[in-house]
Structure 1
């Protein structure tokens, strides 16, 4: 029989193997996609590619259809993140000051879009905007993305606000600060980790959404994910892999900036400010 020390060592080895296998399983699609984006062949062949090239990125930037979709996606994601963060933070502040029972009901109502499939939301909005044709396509997309992005910003902002000791605001008020000064100098800085995390989620959702956007785009205004789906149906080539790497690069750059400004580990790992 194995001794206790040997059993612990064997168990530790098994855990490491499981972690390594899980990491490989999760990263393998990313590795394949990146390798395909730099594939030097003119067709989609076996993995790994025998030669590397930047030609698929050149074709991506020369493709007016995909490039227009990327510009729309980027503008839409920035607008969604900004508006969802502003509205979500305001809603989270109001919710945090409600009585517990009313707070729970209100939070459930605001988070309800997360349990509805995106296809259902997109189809419902398509019917709604077909009846009330009052908004341009970009505004429709923005409204649709806000519906799903707001629960993220509200939830993350509420988490950030929950960890703030109320006595800090009371102390500021007792020293002569008004409610506006207390919010912008005490509450908002302490909750910035949760607020920033909510903005990240809103931006990432808007950049990659297909299920909702595909119902609301038109021939002139469309997002990059929708353009990629259309390209896959008409002309399947590795430009799609290059576009996917571009999206991953934008997300990675955003996370790096977020880590430098706020601190990714503190925002995602802790979630709340602790006194």
Structure 2
């Protein structure tokens, strides 16, 4: 009887995995397939004919290209600023053992639990009150706020297990505190730092809720442009744009792997004492 129960549990687990994989992959497969649809309208799946018309339309549409350029520039600056600030905050929290440490950490991570719509609206009012009306500046401030907690959290995870005696030993041998950080702490925490940077870039490229409140008529991101086109002139150019975003992410990972190496860039795991 026990054997039958074990077999049933195994098959149930396999079926659950298959269902989850189908649920995750099928929508992506549909979007990729429909982006090659030759029809001028959104019809039934699968399409009877295929073409590159929607990709040609994307690269000939200044509205989408402006949004893509803004998204890339915004994501790059956001990643640099958010990672720098997040690593500094995480190291401070890791070394600080006084009162209020948990409150400070909760404050740094609070954007994770505050609804993005609330953050976007609050920032819109804040920037209006201080006289900041430049769309890119407002978007940059909003994206730094929503990505900062990820860099803090992942860096803290990377710092777990790194013994303080390693840094102290380096400093006792003549290294400055800055040199000890770059030679000892950073290599061991590199996995968490790079993971936070990747999260920051991905969330900045993908954000809609906060960006909708902070855009201006001349400065908007690609996701905002896609949402706007869905409301005004819905066509399968949106599917082509989504596929191009996926291709860009895959190409970025491939280039990093071929030029630097993901093992070298990210590291081989979190250090444990």
Instruction: Report TM bin, short chain.
Output: over 0.9
CA distance in 2, matches of 1:28, 1:94: 44
Counterpart of 2:93? 95
Counterpart of 2:67? 69
Deviation at 1:167, TM superposition (A): 2.0
Output aligned runs, 1:143-222, within 5 Å. 143-222=141-220
CA distance in 2, matches of 1:107, 1:252: 33
1:15 aligns with 2:19: no
CA distance in 2, matches of 1:32, 1:58: 19
Deviation at 1:135, TM superposition (A): 5.4
Task: Kindly indicate whether the alpha-carbon contact (under 8 Å) linking 1:113 and 1:147 is maintained by their aligned counterparts in 2.
Answer: yes
CA distance in 2, matches of 1:201, 1:257: 18
Deviation at 1:256, TM superposition (A): 4.1
Task: Kindly indicate whether the alpha-carbon contact (under 8 Å) linking 1:60 and 1:243 is maintained by their aligned counterparts in 2.
Answer: yes
Output aligned runs, 1:99-114, within 5 Å. 99=97, 101-114=99-112
CA distance in 1, matches of 2:200, 2:141: 13
**Which deviates more, 87-96 or 156-165?**
156-165
Stretches of structure 2 that go unaligned for 5 or more consecutive residues are: none
Deviation at 1:257, TM superposition (A): 5.0
Task: State the number of aligned residues.
Answer: 270
**Which deviates more, 3-12 or 236-245?**
3-12
Task: Kindly indicate whether the alpha-carbon contact (under 8 Å) linking 2:160 and 2:272 is maintained by their aligned counterparts in 1.
Answer: no
Counterpart of 1:136? 134
1:250 aligns with 2:231: no
CA distance in 2, matches of 1:152, 1:113: 10
Task: Kindly indicate whether the alpha-carbon contact (under 8 Å) linking 1:96 and 1:103 is maintained by their aligned counterparts in 2.
Answer: no
Deviations 1:170-222 (A, max 9, x none): 22122221111100111111111100000111111110111111111111111
Stretches of structure 1 that go unaligned for 5 or more consecutive residues are: none
Deviations 1:82-133 (A, max 9, x none): 1100111011111111116532121101011111111111111111122211
For normalisation by structure 1, the TM-score amounts to 0.92
1:224 aligns with 2:222: yes
Task: Kindly indicate whether the alpha-carbon contact (under 8 Å) linking 2:134 and 2:216 is maintained by their aligned counterparts in 1.
Answer: no
Counterpart of 1:55? 53
CA distance in 1, matches of 2:48, 2:118: 43
